[in-house]
Amino acid sequence: MPPLCDALPRALATVSLPTLKRRMRLSHAKSRHGFTLIELLVVMGIMSIMVAILVLAVPAIKGSQDITKSSDDIQGVLEQARTLAMADNTYVWVGFFEENPNSIGTAGVGQAVISVVSSSDGTQLFTNSNPPTVLPSASLTQVNKLMKLPSLHLDILSAAAVTRPSVPANTYQIGSSSFSNNIYFTYPLSGSQYKFYNIIQFNPQGDATRIADTPTQVIEVGLRPAHGNVATASSKNVVAIQVAGIGGHVTVYRP
C-alpha cells in the first residue's frame, strides 16, 4: 500500500480543477446559509409575545412588592407600639388615616397614613366612661415620624378574599366607618394637618383595643392595592393583618 503522502496527490489529480472549485463554492455557500423570511417572522413573533407578557407582568410584580412592603411596615409599627407600651409601662396609640394622594390631609382613597403617639406620664389620660373628644397634645409624645404608604387602600376584606380566623364584627376592622368612636389625636401634635380617628390602643400589658374600649378578640387591618385614588377591587393581592386583643400579637394573612 503506497504511503498516504503519495496517495493524496494521485486522488487530487483525479478531480478536475473546475470540479474542485465548484465543490468549494457549494461548501462555502452552505456555511453561509442564513435565516429564511419565514424563520425571521417566527422569531419576531415569539419576541413580540415575550415583550407583551413582560409588559403585563411588571405592574403585577411591582404591585405585589408594594403591598408586601406596606404590610411589613404596618406589622412593624404595631409590634413596635406593643413593645413600647410594655417596656415603658404606658399607653400607646396607633392612628390610621387614608387620604387622596393628590390632596394631602384630605380623606379619600389611595394612600395610608399612620402616626404613633404615647402617653407622656404613663396614664391613659381619660376614662372609658368619660372619653375626651381629642387626646390632649400636651400629654402626648410623638413616637416616630409620620408614615405614608402609597398605592394602598384600607379595606374591609371578605372571608373569601383571605382565609383567616373570622372577625367578630365590622366594628373591629380598620377601614370600617363604625370603627371610630369619635376620639382623635392630631399630627403634628401642635397642629391639625391630620386627625386620626381610627386608633388602636395598646395598654401597659400589651393588650390591644380600639381607643376607649375594652380589649377585643381581634382587630383587623385589611390592605388592598390602589392605583392613584382608586382601589383595585379585582386584585387578589390583598393582605389581612390581625392584632389579638389579649396579648396584642400581630399576624399577617395572605391568600
**pLDDT given for residue 56 in this prediction:** 56
Residue 8 domain-assigned (yes or no): no
Q: Does the pLDDT of residue 4 top 50, yes or no?
A: no
Q: Is residue 121 part of a domain?
A: yes
Mean pLDDT of the chain: 85
- Kindly tell me the burial class for residue 29, based on how many C-beta atoms sit within 10 Å of its own C-beta (0-12, 13-18, 19 or more): exposed
Report the CATH number at residue 214.
3.55.40.10
Minimum mean pLDDT among 28-32, 151-155, 193-197, 219-223: which range?
Answer: 28-32
Whether 241 is in a domain gets the answer: yes
- Per-residue CA distances from 226 to 62, 69, 158 (Å): 12, 14, 17
Specify the pLDDT at position 16.
Answer: 58
- Mean per-residue pLDDT for 11-35? 55
Assess whether pLDDT exceeds 70 at residue 122: yes
CB–CB of 177/155 below 8 Å?
A: no
User: Which has the higher per-residue pLDDT, 51 or 180?
Assistant: 180
In the predicted structure, residue 253 carries a pLDDT above the cut 50? yes
The pTM (predicted TM-score) of the whole model is 0.76
Domain interval for residue 158: 65-253
List, in sequence order, every residue forming a beta bridge with 184; answer none if it has no partner.
134
- The number of folded domains in the chain is 1
Rounded Cα–Cα distance for residues 157 and 222 (Å): 6
Q: Residue 105: pLDDT above 70?
A: yes
The answer to the question of residue 36 being in a domain is no
Domain presence at residue 69: yes
Amino acid at 244: A
Is there a domain that residue 165 lies in? yes
